[in-house]
Amino acid sequence: MRKSKDDKNNTTTTITPLTSNETPIEIALQIDKDGMTTASKLYAFLELLPSNFARWCKKNIVNNKFATENEDYFPFIMQEERDKPKNPKPKTDYKLTSEFAKKLSMTGNTEKHEKARNYFIACEQGLKIATAKLQARNDDIQALAQSVNNLVQKIDNKFDSLEARISTLENTTPKSLPKK
């Protein structure tokens, strides 16, 4: 278990090891069991100004030429907004797929955006290292397999040679031994 202190908000975050398959970025973005998060959770993670949420959503979600409504994001009216009587402009939030949220976490100019980009770059570097190690192991396995094949071939040749010699011995008429 690890604790970190956020001096800015005077809060302490406790991070406990998980036995699930969630990545650190999925934990930070609070991805749910359905692989979704909300724009408001992502916005809070990015530590952007709360007053710009609607403008940010319009620019980065609704008007994003690389995003498709009801595929990458799903708009909904926040429950607390529904409960307000006669609210002429209820606040809209968006359910985001984890993939889309991760893309958005990398497209910005804040420290959190940079941390997200660095995280994905580190993941890519880790994948390159793992791939190189797997390739080296694969090369070792291939070399070992070739050695085993060579050894099996030598053994087969010896057996063939022995079988030929035995066959020759079986097909020759035995000479009688001289009597004493």
DSSP at 84:
S
10-residue stretch averages of pLDDT, the chain, 180 residues long: 51 52 84 93 93 95 96 88 69 94 92 90 90 87 90 91 85 71
**Distance (Å, rounded) from C-alpha 158 to C-alpha 148?**
15
What is the number of helices (H) and of strands (E) in the chain? 6, 5
pTM: 0.60
| Cα–Cα distance, 9 to 5 (Å, whole number) | 9
Name residues whose C-beta falls within 8 Å of residue 96's C-beta, 6 or more positions apart in sequence.
36, 37, 38, 39, 42, 61, 72, 73, 104
- 143/149 Cα distance (integer angstroms): 10
Close Cβ partners of 89 (under 8 Å, ≥ 6 residues apart): none
